[in-house]
């Protein structure tokens, strides 16, 4: 993987395709290019390889292959999931904009509040629960703060409400969706344990190709297709299958399984060291990522009174790539709704950096990055004083 | 491109990714992998390359880049197009199942009849036109017969009806969509000349990657997004951009432009020779593709009384890949709705082969294929007698 001349601190926005992932994809572009629906043996082999890749993905997640709907990425998966949502919809206030947009399109969005680390409490979900809620959506790992949500506890509360509805003869469905896109590189997801009905994943966040994702659908959950046509993916998502992409996704998940525990240790050590050095230098710095309960590759820091955009441009000129917030929000020039949701004030939001480590991080480049961030902040502080 | 040990006669179902197309895509997997929405220079460069690829595609089609919505393939493009359809919808009876499914989902599907070559007449469209028709969808090239539809003539009839509505103070919109997926490898599409409002294209049919397509949207036509989220593609199609795929699509269209006229001559000659040899051997054979007005790489032949499935399996064992109909229909074991629509009887439908030539076709392999098809048909005829 290329890592020369720059220091990449934005693995939450995009991950490079692992060379082994690309190798597994390459035969399916120009050689095994056949339409998986064609009748002759060579096409049947392609279909078999595609099905086998789905089986490998399913095994990795502890589910069945025919429960997976392969999509063109997390955003599409989320949109298909929300086809089951109507009326009152509970969504955590710190979700990715794709989830918030899908919820607004589907029904009445009610936001579940989060604490100052972006964590929602099962109790606050309990308080908002009512007989007319049909759909709950909470992401496993927050994309700006790395906060890991208590999905299993939330699942239990939802199950209690379901049992109450059954006992009282109510037949309003209650479906639980989890966007786990940010999690797969570092968390071993066994879907059944989470207690969810629908789960979204993205290959692009786990060193796989962009525009490849999946939606796991618990048997019995009825969804409406967003794209109709040839009837692929059990009729839920028509279109000639992305054979190369899905095979790349399978390889990426298997590589993540092998490397996860080593990577967690490696990244946590570097992340903690960076956090410590920066805290020592800048006691006024706010850390909003949770060093204990958050994902170990995230470090979210705020310097109230500074302009993070200026920090980013200075760092970029030294080869350091870092984000102010999610890429989507950055692109639209809007303030992070996630930082607003955790009660951060404007001055702190304006001075916020999201740092996310990953496979391109090395001890050396993290040390250099730390030194350069210190230099950048010192320069900016001198300028605004 | 791999072409050893087999003869591929199914370019309408899938085309191999051209090595030059793949080369243009490769840097965007592991090196230039950045999220196009990220703020730092390297990501801005990726965004620029993506935008430049859209500009190259737009130039190839004679339109503006910001009129293109990049999608995960033709099926998705068609679904977005049909977000503007409601009430009465006129669709040619020989459309791909993706268009028919999208029409049924959107409103009341009225089929425009076709002649025995799959061609619809502008007059039959005129007869079905009424003040409450909101949407018309006709494919440029039929995916089983290669029939080229008179899109410009149809566009003129639609324009007359639009003018009539304006003159009589009616404000019911009338939108014209064309699925040109099958056309791009051999027809130079200049969208403005066609008189359409929406046009669908697929990279997978023009030696580009699968799961990459586009919808051209005429300025002023209002569509609803099928996928909401980060707001990419002018808000019509959210999700992190498929940078590698769109760059591959641009390269594929440019290669098609360079090769089109040479390929048309080369393929027509081989196709005509094959048709002639088969007709001489089997005078009872029905040819449903139009040798004059159809696309030059298609040859659709029927042997009433024979079982095409058996022909396909015998040919496959000799390395010849050929289809009975569209890959989607083949996969579901259903009879071709297209052959039914052109009035073909059951016995002829059961004995039909769709042959589609392309870049993998050479004089030698087409001669061999012709010989093998003759052998297969003779064997089957001997068996059923």
Percent of chain A surpassing pLDDT 70: 97
Q: Does the pLDDT of residue A1 top 50, yes or no?
A: no
A330:B209 CB<8 A: no
Which residue, of B254, B274, B295, is where some domain finishes? B254
How far is B160 from B133, CA to CA, in rounded Å?
13
The answer to whether position B2 is within a domain reads no
Q: Which two tokens stand for residue A154?
A: 């939330």
The answer to whether position A1 is within a domain reads no
The answer to whether position A380 is within a domain reads yes
CATH number of residue A163's parent domain: 3.40.640.10
Closest residue to B14, CB basis, from A34, A104, A211: A34
B101:A328 CB<8 A: no
- B295 and B312 inside one domain: yes
Which distant-in-sequence residues (6+ apart) come within 8 Å of A94 by Cβ?
A114, A118, A120, A139, A142, A144, A145, A147, A338, A341, A342
Q: What is the pLDDT of residues B188-244, one digit of tens each?
A: 999 999 999 999 999 999 999 999 999 999 999 999 888 888 888 888 888 889 999
- B272 and B317 inside one domain: yes
Q: Which domain holds residue A162?
A: 21-254
Q: Does the pLDDT of residue A307 top 90, yes or no?
A: yes
How far is B92 from B119, CA to CA, in rounded Å?
9
CATH number of residue A331's parent domain: 3.90.1150.10
- Chain A CB contacts of B330 under 8 Å are 37-39
Burial A68-87 (b: 16+ CB within 10 A, else e): bbbbbbbbbbbbbbbebbee
Q: Does the pLDDT of residue A327 top 80, yes or no?
A: no
Residue of B40, B330, B360 best to disrupt the A interface, most CBs of A under 10 A: B40
How far is B208 from B22, CA to CA, in rounded Å?
8
How far is A124 from B319, CA to CA, in rounded Å?
64
- B116 and B239 inside one domain: yes
Q: What is the pLDDT of residues A205-225, one digit of tens each?
A: 999 999 999 999 999 999 988
What is the domain count for chain A? 2
Chain mean position to CA A27: 29
Query: What average pLDDT does this structure show over A168-186?
Result: 96
The answer to whether position A158 is within a domain reads yes
Residue of A3, A185, A238 best to disrupt the B interface, most CBs of B under 10 A: A238
What are the CA-CA distances from residue B59 to residues B67, B215, B234 (Å)? Answer: 11, 15, 19
- A266 and A191 inside one domain: no
From the CA of A165, how many Å to the nearest CA of chain B? 31
From the CA of B373, how many Å to the nearest CA of chain A? 15
B228:A31 CB<8 A: no
Closest residue to B229, CB basis, from A29, A98, A322: A98
From the CA of A169, how many Å to the nearest CA of chain B? 33
| pLDDT score at A353 | 96
Q: Which two tokens stand for residue B323?
A: 């289809």
| pLDDT score at B1 | 43
Q: Does the pLDDT of residue B56 top 70, yes or no?
A: yes
Q: Does the pLDDT of residue A72 top 90, yes or no?
A: yes
From the CA of B366, how many Å to the nearest CA of chain A? 18
A79:B241 CB<8 A: no
From the CA of A168, how many Å to the nearest CA of chain B? 36
- Chain B CB contacts of A31 under 8 Å are 2, 16
Q: Does the pLDDT of residue A331 top 60, yes or no?
A: no
- Chain B CB contacts of A328 under 8 Å are 37, 229-231
B303 contacts B350 by C-beta, under 8 angstroms: no
- B217 and B203 inside one domain: yes
| A47-53 long-range Cβ contacts below 8 angstroms, 24+ apart | A49/A243, A49/A247, A50/A241, A50/A243, A50/A246, A50/A247, A53/A246, A53/A247, A53/A249, A53/A250
Q: Does the pLDDT of residue B266 top 50, yes or no?
A: yes
- B360 and B296 inside one domain: yes
The answer to whether position B333 is within a domain reads yes
B15:A33 CB<8 A: yes
- B112 and B60 inside one domain: yes
| pLDDT score at B68 | 97
Q: Does the pLDDT of residue B328 top 70, yes or no?
A: no
From the CA of A90, how many Å to the nearest CA of chain B? 17
Q: Quick one: pLDDT band at residue A330, thresholds 50, 70, 90? A: low
Q: What is the pLDDT of residues A3-60, one digit of tens each?
A: 567 999 999 999 999 999 999 999 999 999 999 999 999 999 999 999 999 999 999 9
Query: What average pLDDT does this structure show over A91-100?
Result: 94
In chain A, which residue's Cα lies nearest the Cα of B326?
A: A38
B70 contacts B113 by C-beta, under 8 angstroms: no
In chain B, which residue's Cα lies nearest the Cα of A32?
A: B16
Q: Does the pLDDT of residue A333 top 80, yes or no?
A: no
- Chain B CB contacts of A143 under 8 Å are none
| pLDDT score at B236 | 86
- Chain A CB contacts of B231 under 8 Å are 97, 101, 328, 332
- A57 and A175 inside one domain: yes
The answer to whether position B1 is within a domain reads no
A38:B332 CB<8 A: no
- B245 and B270 inside one domain: no
Q: What are φ and ψ of residue B111, in 5° steps?
A: -90, 135
B73:A240 CB<8 A: yes
List, by residue number, the catalytic residues of A: 328
- Chain A CB contacts of B73 under 8 Å are 239-240
In terms of phi and psi (left: phi > 0; alpha: psi -120 to 50; beta: otherwise), the region of A56 is alpha
- A246 and A265 inside one domain: no
The answer to whether position A318 is within a domain reads yes
Which residue, of A220, A238, A254, is where some domain finishes? A254
Q: Quick one: pLDDT band at residue B264, thresholds 50, 70, 90? A: very high
B229:A14 CB<8 A: no
Chain mean position to CA B153: 20
The answer to whether position A2 is within a domain reads no
- A28 and A133 inside one domain: yes
A39:B97 CB<8 A: no
How far is A146 from A293, CA to CA, in rounded Å?
9
Q: What is the pLDDT of residues B147-198, one digit of tens each?
A: 999 999 999 999 999 999 999 999 999 999 999 999 999 999 999 999 999 9
List, by residue number, the catalytic residues of B: 328
Q: What is the pLDDT of residues A112-144, one digit of tens each?
A: 999 999 999 999 999 999 999 999 999 999 999
- Chain B CB contacts of A210 under 8 Å are 33, 240-244
Helix (H) or strand (E) holding A137: strand A133-137
Which residue, of B194, B228, B254, is where some domain finishes? B254
- A284 and A189 inside one domain: no
- Chain B CB contacts of A38 under 8 Å are 10, 13-14, 321, 323, 327, 330-331
């Amino acid at each position: 993987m290329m890592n020369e001349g720059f220091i990449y601190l934005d693995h939450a926005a995009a991950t490079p395709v692992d060379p082994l992932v690309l190798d597994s994809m390459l035969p399916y572009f120009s050689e095994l290019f056949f339409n998986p629906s064609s009748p002759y043996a060579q096409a049947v082999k392609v279909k078999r390889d595609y099905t086998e890749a789905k089986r490998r993905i399913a095994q990795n997640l502890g589910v069945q292959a025919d429960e997976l709907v392969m999509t063109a990425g997390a955003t599409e998966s989320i949109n298909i999931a929300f086809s089951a949502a109507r009326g009152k919809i509970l969504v955590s206030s710190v979700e990715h904009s794709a989830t918030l947009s899908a919820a607004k399109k589907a029904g009445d969005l009610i936001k579940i509040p989060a604490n100052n680390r972006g964590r929602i409490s099962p109790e606050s979900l309990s308080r908002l629960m009512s007989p007319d809620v049909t759909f709950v959506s909470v992401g496993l790992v927050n994309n700006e703060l790395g906060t890991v949500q208590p999905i299993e506890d939330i699942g239990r509360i939802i199950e209690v409400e379901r049992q109450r509805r059954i006992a009282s003869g109510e037949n309003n469905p209650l479906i639980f969706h989890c966007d786990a896109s940010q999690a797969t590189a570092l968390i071993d997801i066994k879907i059944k344990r989470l207690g969810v009905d629908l789960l979204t994943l993205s290959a692009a966040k786990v060193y796989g190709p962009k525009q490849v994702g999946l939606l796991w659908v618990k048997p019995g959950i009825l969804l409406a297709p967003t794209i109709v046509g040839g009837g692929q993916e059990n009729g839920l998502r028509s279109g000639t299958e992305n054979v190369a992409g899905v095979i790349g996704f399978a390889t990426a998940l298997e590589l993540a399984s092998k490397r996860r525990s080593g990577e967690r240790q490696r990244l946590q050590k570097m992340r903690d060291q960076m956090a410590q050095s920066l805290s020592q230098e800048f006691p006024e710095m706010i850390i909003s990522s949770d060093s204990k309960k958050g994902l170990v590759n995230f470090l979210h820091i705020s310097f109230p009174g500074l302009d993070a955009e200026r920090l980013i441009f200075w760092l970029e000129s030294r080869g350091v790539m870092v984000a102010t917030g999610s890429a989507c929000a950055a692109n639209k020039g809007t303030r992070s709704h996630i930082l607003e949701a955790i009660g951060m004030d404007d001055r702190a939001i304006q001075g916020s950096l999201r740092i996310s480590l990953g496979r391109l991080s090395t001890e050396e480049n993290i040390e250099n990055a730390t030194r350069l961030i210190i230099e950048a902040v010192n320069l900016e502080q001198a300028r605004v004083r």
